[in-house]
Chain A
Amino acid sequence: MSSPVEQITVVSSDGDEFKMTVAAAMQSEQLKQMLTDDSISIVKVPVENISTEILVKVIEYCQKHADHEAATKANGGGASDSEAEELNKWDAEFMKVDVEDKLFHILMAANYLEIKGLFDLACQTVADLIKGKTPKQIRKIFNLKNDFTPEEQERLSRQHNCSFD
C-alpha cells in the first residue's frame, strides 16, 4: 500500500544526499532498473564512485533532459527543430567545464549510471577536445607514457610521416 515514488535520494561518495525526481532518475538505465523493479523499495541510492561536484552536474543534466522529454510529450510527440537546437545549445554550454579531468569524471559517471545521452555527449566533447592536439599533449591529458623504443619511433615516423611530439 505504498504511495507511488515521486523522488529518490542519491548519495555521493562524499556522503552528501541529493533528491532526484523519478523522471530525472529514469534518464539513467541503472536507476531506471531499480525504480521499475517492484521487489526493491528504494530509500537511498549510494553512488560510490561519484563525488558531490560531479553528481550535481549529472543530476542537472538528467533533470533538464527529463523536462525536455515531458514538454515534447505534452506538445504531441515531435520536438520542433528550434526546441531540439535549443537543447543542443544547452548541452554545449553544460559541457563547458573548467578543468579537463572534470570532463572525464562526468564521462565515467555517465558510463556507470548508464545515461546514454550524457555519455555520448561527453565522448564527443572529449573527441573534439583532443582533435588538434599533438601526441605529447595527448599523453599529458590521458596520463600516458611514451613506451616506444627509439627504433619503433623511427619506423612509425617513416611509415606514417608523423611526429612523436
Chain B
Amino acid sequence: MTMKQVAMDDQMPYLPKEIIQNILARLPARFLIRFLCVCKQWKNLIKSPSFSSDHLLHSSHQNPCLLFLMRGGDDALNWHLLDSEMQVHRVQNHPLIDYLKCGWVVGSSNGLLCVRIRKDGMSHDSLLLCNPTIREVRQLPRATDAFPHQNLHVGFGFSPIVNDYKIVRIYVDIPFDDMIDKVLVYSLRTESWKEIELGILVGVSLSSHGFTANGSIFWFGSKLKQEDENGNLVGGNVIISFDIATEVFTLMPRPALTLGSHLKTLTMYEKKLAVLCCTAIGNSKSLIDLWVMEEGTAASGQRCSWTKKYSICPYPGVLRPLTIWRNEVVCSISTRREMENDETNTILYNLTTKEFKKFAVSRCSCGYHVFNHVESLLPVGGMKLSAMFV
C-alpha cells in the first residue's frame, strides 16, 4: 500500500438530491412507501409532486401491473396486484373501502382508481377516488341519481392535454334497450358536475363497460337505424368514444367480425385501440382474435380502419379474454371446466412467443375483473375522507 492509498478518503460520498431522486424513481411505489420512514429528506422528496410525476413515468414503462378484483367468501373485496416480475401482492386497501365491501372499480388512471359504491337500501350510489398504494381516499360530490327505470354507466380517465381527471355518468333507459338519456361529466379541476348535450348520442344505446386509453373513454354501443337524406339506412353497431380533453363524443365503426365471433372487450395494443373477440368451438374450445384500429389515410378517406392482427390458436378450454398486458393477452378460464383440479384461473398468451401460460391469482371460483394499473404516489387531492362513510 502506498502513502497515497492510505490517505484516500474511504467515506461514503454524499449523494446530491438529484441523484437520490434518479435512484428512487426506478423503484416500485410499494418500496417507496416503506422508505418514507428513512428520514425527513427522503419523505419530503418522495412526497413531492415533481417526484411523483417522474416516478409515474418510470412506473408506467418499467412496471405496468394488473389489478385483479375478486370477492372473498364473506363478500369481502379481495384485490390483488400482479407486477411485471409476475409477483402477486394483496392490495391493502384504505380501511373505508374494505368496510364498504360493495365497491367496484370503474377505471384506473395514473394509479388512481375510481370506485363506485352502492349499498343495499341506499337510494343513491357514490363515487370515490382512491390511490391504494398510498391509501388515500376522496369522496366526490353527488350527482343526479338514476331513476328506477334507468341504469348508470360510469367512465373515468385522465387527459394530459388538459391535465385533468374526468368522470362520465351515462344514464340509459332500460325499457328502451339501454338508450342514452343523459350524460354528466365531472372535472377534478373544477370539482363540479355539468350536463353534456347528447348531440350525436341521440338514438344510441350502450352495451358495455367503459375502457379508457389515450385520453379517451370507449364503450360498445349501437345507433338506431334510420334513413338518411338519401333514403339509405344508417346506424348499427358502433364504438362510442369520449375525448376527455374536449368532452366531445364521436361514433366509430366496429370491426367486421365473421359469423360466430363475439366482441368481448376493448383493450389497447401497442398504444392503439384494440378489440378482443371470441369464437366458441363447441363447448370446449375457443378461438380468440385481436383486431387493432389503425388511423385512416387521406387516400382511403376513412378516419380509421380495423385490421385483424392476431388469431390465437385454440386453447383446450373456454377462455374469456379480458385485456392486454405488456405483450400478453390475459384471459380468465371458464369455471365450468372440470379438466384440471389446480387453481388455475388465469391464462396468459404471449403474442411474441405464441405460448400459453397458466396462472393462479388467489383462490377465486367466481368471475373477476381485471384492470391495467400502475402503482403511483399521486395524491387524490382535495379533502381526504377521515370520517366513516354515511
Whether A145 contacts B13 in the complex (CB less than 8 A), given A14-B8, A51-B8, A124-B26, comes out as no
Are B39 and A144 touching (Cβ within 8 A)? Answer: yes
- Main secondary structure, interface of A, reads helix
Are B4 and A156 touching (Cβ within 8 A)? Answer: no
Would you give the 0/1 interface string for B1-40, flagging 1 where the beta carbon is closer than 8 Å to chain A? 0001100101111110001101110110001011111111
Whether A153 contacts B37 in the complex (CB less than 8 A), given A15-B4, A52-B4, A161-B135, comes out as yes
CB closest chain-B residue, reference A163 = B37
CB closest chain-B residue, reference A148 = B40
**Is A164 part of the contact surface with B, judged by Cβ < 8 Å?**
yes
CB-defined contacts of B36 to chain A, threshold 8 Å:
156, 160, 162
Interface size class of A (residues with CB under 8 A): 35 or more
Are B43 and A156 touching (Cβ within 8 A)? Answer: yes
We find that the number of chain B residues with CB closer than 8 angstroms to chain A is: 31
Are A131 and B13 touching (Cβ within 8 A)? Answer: no
**Is A6 part of the contact surface with B, judged by Cβ < 8 Å?**
no
Q: How many A-B residue pairs have CB under 8 A?
A: 88
**Is B123 part of the contact surface with A, judged by Cβ < 8 Å?**
no
CB-defined contacts of A153 to chain B, threshold 8 Å:
37
B3 shortest CB reach to chain A, Å? 10
For the complex, what is the distance from the CA of A152 to the CA of B43, rounded to whole Å? Answer: 11
CB closest chain-A residue, reference B18 = A111
For the complex, what is the distance from the CA of A146 to the CA of B10, rounded to whole Å? Answer: 23
The stretch among A24-32, A78-86, A87-95, A101-109 that forms the contact with chain B is: A101-109
Whether A139 contacts B4 in the complex (CB less than 8 A), given A108-B13, A126-B23, A161-B92, comes out as no
Interface residues of B in 40-64 (CB under 8 A from A): 40-43
CB-defined contacts of A160 to chain B, threshold 8 Å:
33, 36, 134-135
CB-defined contacts of B33 to chain A, threshold 8 Å:
160, 162
